A and B are shown apart, each in its own frame.
Chain A
Amino acid sequence: MNIGKIALAGNPNVGKSTVFNALTGMKQHTGNWSGKTVGTAEGKLRRKGKEITLVDLPGTCSLITDSREEEITRDFLCFEKFSGAVIVCDACCLERNLIFALQAAQLVPNVILCINMMDDAEKRGIEIDIKALSEETGLPAIGISAANCEGLEELSDMIFELAEGKLKADFVPVRYPKAIEHAADILLPVLREKYGFPGVYPALRLLENERGFVSEFENRFGIISGEEDLSTALSEAETVLAESGFSADLPGKIASCSAFRAEEICLSAVNFSKGKQRERDAKIDSVLTGKISGVPIMLILFGFIFWLTVSGANYPSALLSALFERVGEVFERLLLSVGAPSVLRSFLLDGIWNVLSWVVSVMLPPMAIFFPLFTFLEDIGYLPRVAFNLDKGFKSAGTCGKQALTMCMGIGCGAVGVTGARIIDSPRERLIAIITNSFVPCNGRLPAIIALTAMFFTGSSVLGSAILTMAVVFSVLMSLLVSKILSATVLKGVPAAFSIELPPYRMPKIGKIIVRSVFDRTLKILFRAVVVAVPAGAVIWLCSNISFGGETVLRLFADFLDPFARVFGLDGNVLSGFILSLPANEIALPIMAMGYSGGGLAELGSLSETAALFSANGFSKTTALCTIIFFLFHWPCATTIITVWKETKSIKWTALSVAVPLLTGLSLCFIINIVAKLLMP
């Protein structure tokens, strides 16, 4: 029996999703920056035949907002029906988190204060007296360490008690100057009786005439001027404020009261006396964001990650490839034994099985190395520092440092980067981040770039990763340049105000990192690639086996594209590979190999064999360079394009997010081709 719905809310970065996952046993991605929970996630909490729906809301700095990501939380807390809320706070920055908690408690009568990361706070010498906190606020409170699973049982007990009405909150209201309280009191009865708002929060927002709240209110209940009782009460309240001189900067006055109330609560509940809270962070930061050390360390760190990914992936890749070959042989014998015709055998093995095995053996190892490392950086809190370090560069391109984060997400997966752009407040800057997102090579393209680099430019992995780092740096610079061009043309504007929180450094939980990065990211993306690879393998096999006038469809298509492709230093086969790999970039290289070999992928063995096959078909170093560049800049994969459409709801921006990287890639390849012809006639 479902006994109610409880919301989970809090500032970004307080470990809210960790709490949610720990309580519901769901594996939702969590990370050390905002924008991780996009949209709401629902999970169930079960006990003795009773069930509670837990809703994980995106982390928000405030309920007063007009940013898209935060609206979801505000709309839910303000306007949806639910039995209560758990406000998750970070024990290390309780004061700031309490400001949000107070807002929420002014809105929802049943609130549990859940102080997370108590273990971290303890290490920093911050002592929190949960009992005092609860007494001071009038709210039930609990201290937990979600990552260590400490206190979760008690928390879920409390959630059940809250939903059953056994746990009562008796919120000690925030005090405001008399005139403001008087004005709010005029509005309260109308808001309570007619619109069902129990707390003071809506009254305050109406008095402030806060845009975001008012417009959503009017969306749901009709315009305020048309609501007779409310508009009468509102004008009466406004007169009260005006008469006592409180109309000017009302938001500032109201916010001050909450801020100082939060400070007051902390004074009685938190003991900072051990006073070494920020020492360690300050030390780490002076290196990681230092004037001299900050940027080089960042480059070395990312270079090292690429190196590990490149060099570490070779051996497991070969192993997997051999394994697939073995299984393939077993399949073949099986098919032979049941007397399957040779066409079917070829279709299944050379078509589907080979593409599948390529995708898995090429993609899985690098992802299984890259994602844990990346998640590690995320987990310890390094990524917001990247945004901090690089903001000036992005500002000069007309955008903001948060774009560095969406780029990082984009390296993992383009679609993730596009959705992640919600962390950027300014709509203009968000669009720029979306359109330029595919400039950074995603995981589907990195292995191909790595393979081509190894095949044609270097055999050594150190040099290879250096080249790869350069390629990524180049792609970042290009995306800055293109962002700047966009800022000056279709998305004209000056950089909006920018603020980013630098969270405390955390000790990483290695086990969690591995589980999360392997299951949430690696396997998810792999699964998607496999789903695409199977039909793609079928289509490609058909293209390379159905012939007209003695030529396969694939060859005819490649020949048709060839003259055009050669202008850009590519060839028809390469270009058709790119086009056919629209569903997933991972399969581009195998399609090219298939086109060259004229058959299935059966011949595709080691890198050197593949290189020999490519070279035998006139694939020069220039072609290789142009292909790498085109891998960096062409169009996003189908999934990403669909995601852009979902995020922007605009054909124009979706088309631009395809056209901009494509034009960039074509121009660069064109130039490279001409220069190469001049240098090596």
Chain B
Amino acid sequence: MKIRFRFERSEELKYIGHLDVMRLFERAFKRAELPVAHSQGFNPRPHIVFAQPMPLGLSSSGEFADVELEKRYELNIFLEKLNAALPDGIKAVDARESTSNRNIMSIVEAARYRIDFNAMQSSDIDSIISKVLSEKRIIVFKKTKSGEKEFDIRPLIYEITGEANDGTGFFNVLLSSGQHNNVRPELFFEGVRICTGIDIEMTKMHRIMLYGRAENKWLPLTDERFLQRDL
């Protein structure tokens, strides 16, 4: 059976990279004695697919993964067993059965972040936000395999709100995410620096939720619409 689950990673476990998280789950499934199906072939790999890599330093309350199990489990039993085998700081919070054939990575289209910052000059947060939103284009340089590439992130910034006082504050942003047009928080910050000229330093990043898009709405990946067999 295929299960899609949402998990959270707290501050204490944010200092490991994506490969470490993958290995952590593989070992947790083994400890939980939840038999994960493996790929066929020369080097069998467990069928666990994560919706979006988690860079080192990011905490999150809205991560998703698909796992293919060799047996059927009640969803609450699955959660209980898995959580008993996960270390403090990482927790599965929701599990749904999935009959979709779609790769979970291809569903992700946006992510909501809370990004904390220190700004060197005190500036009105509302004017920063309206400045960013009023731009037609925000060109940043994105590192690619073949060097740096110009990249217009303005159309990929969907929403910004925020609060600030005494030089510290946070943004709550909805950014394009996923396999195409992924805007990482660092890139968004680069854009803010470029179009406002303000010296602003990111101090913390937290992913609130990963979303897919269906019926003109942003929906979490455990929404029924993403779990059904594709027509």
Specify whether A and B are partners. Answer: no
- Which A residues have a C-beta under 8 Å from some C-beta of B? none
B residues neighboring A (CB under 8 Å): none
